[in-house]
Structure 1
Amino acid sequence: MPDNFLPSLVGSMSVGAAGNPTVAMVEAAFR
């Protein structure tokens, strides 16, 4: 599994949940 798999998955999810602060926090957790 590539290292960028989870951030990419979260990024694709954030497209459908635009403006959702929870998605932003989860994405930041992977950085």
Structure 2
Amino acid sequence: MIEDINLKNAEVLAILTMVFDEVQGIYELEK
């Protein structure tokens, strides 16, 4: 059970990191 939660947290963190990188890239292009 705890391992499942940790796995989900890692997936969410990876997705958030990818989204953040894309948003940052778009923001840099707009500047």
TM-score (norm: length of structure 2)? 0.44
Bigger relative contact order, structure 1 or 2, given CA contacts below 8 A and separation 6+?
A: 1
Larger relative helix fraction: 2
Which protein is bigger by CA-based radius of gyration?
2
